[in-house]
Amino acid sequence: MVGCYTNRMHDVPADMLAKIASEIHACTACPLHATRTHAVPGEGPPEARVVFIGEAPGGDEDLQGRPFVGRSGQLLRKTIRETGWREDEVFIGNVLKCRPPNNADPVPEQVEACRHFLMAQLVILRPKVIVTLGRHSLNLLISPELKITKIRGQHIKKNGQLYLPTYHPAMILRNARLEPEFRHDLAKAKALCERS
């Protein structure tokens, strides 16, 4: 699936992202399509130097069709601003594009059905740094073996792509003592963007 997007390099990236978004809105490849209100493709400009990837939309995101707009999303967006980015210069998305009922963890079959959308988005975006938020994006994009508590804050280069794993902001809401580490990690991602 990724190849069909890379073969369209004469298309402008914004149009390619919009095409992927329209395919996500029409997707029925896994059972989550039946319970979603809106699919949530992700948002941000094609020239974004940093991409934040969480696990799946929650209730607020499902209602609005936008990523990270609930309580944990507000924390993420506030921390992004306080780190020195404008919200409109970063791309924010998820591994899954539709909400699992009751905010259940993504299951492997759902991730397998959906992953090509994220991979295609990343091929188009080609960001300097991908910040993985929580274990699901860490395990999909970097390695299924890694534990977030062991690896967070350490930048990793894989296949030429720079990654910075950190906590999911929902974890920070559950444990405010982790917030300084979360802030530190976003500041490190900003520094990596600026020097790489």
By CB under 6 A, name the binding residues for ligand SF4.
24, 27-30, 32-33, 39, 96-98, 110, 113-114
Q: How far is the CB of 33 from ligand SF4 (least distance, A)?
A: 4
Q: How far is the CB of 154 from ligand SF4 (least distance, A)?
A: 29
For the beta sheet containing 50-54, the strands, ordered from the edge strand earlier in sequence to the opposite edge, are 91-94, 50-54, 129-133, 161-166, 156-158
Q: How far is the CB of 118 from ligand SF4 (least distance, A)?
A: 9
When the beta carbons of 32 and 131 are compared against ligand SF4, the nearer one is 32
When the beta carbons of 42 and 44 are compared against ligand SF4, the nearer one is 42
Q: How far is the CB of 83 from ligand SF4 (least distance, A)?
A: 29
When the beta carbons of 116 and 128 are compared against ligand SF4, the nearer one is 116
In this structure, are residues 163 and 133 in contact, taking their beta carbons and an 8 Å threshold? no
When the beta carbons of 62 and 185 are compared against ligand SF4, the nearer one is 62
DSSP 88: G
In this structure, are residues 80 and 90 in contact, taking their beta carbons and an 8 Å threshold? yes
In this structure, are residues 49 and 193 in contact, taking their beta carbons and an 8 Å threshold? yes
Question: 92 in helix, strand or coil?
Answer: strand
Q: How many CA atoms lie within 13 A of 10 on its CB side?
A: 0
